[in-house]
Amino acid sequence: MSGAAADKKPVKLISAEGFEFVVDHDAACVSNTIKNMLSSQGTFIETEQGEIRFPEISTPVLEAVCKYFYYKLRYANTASKNIPEFKVAPEMALELLMAANYLDT
């Protein structure tokens, strides 16, 4: 496959503990870092296999990040004023902020 069809394959994001999250390509590309990894020129494993390892991001944090990707896709271009809050557990806030910064999300 080539072109737009190949670009739309699901992406596998792997946490520090090895837990795998399979997300839609569009959702993964909410992160500019992931978008750049998947669209880079050359034969990088991320581009070839649609699989990205994050040895520095724990499973609970990566799960929250994946949920945020879908939240952002759903509400980004909504004219509604009734957008629900994206809740973050206080004990996870710092780790999530660092992951969001790294992922350019």
Question: Angle, to 10 degrees, between the axis of helix 93-103 and the axis of helix 59-75?
Answer: 60
pTM for the predicted model, two decimal places: 0.84
Q: Which of 68, 50, 44 is nearest to 1 (CA)?
A: 50
Check which CATH number belongs to the domain holding 47 and give it. 3.30.710.10
Overall number of domains in the chain: 1
7-62 per-position pLDDT tens digit:
478 999 999 999 999 999 999 999 999 998 888 776 566 666 789 999 999 999 99
Domain hosting 38: range is 4-103
Q: With the CA atoms of 85, 56, 90 and 20 taken in that order, what torsion angle do they form, in degrees rounded to the nearest 10? A: 50
**Whether residue 1 has pLDDT greater than 60:** no
**Whether residue 88 has pLDDT greater than 70:** yes
**Whether residue 70 has pLDDT greater than 50:** yes
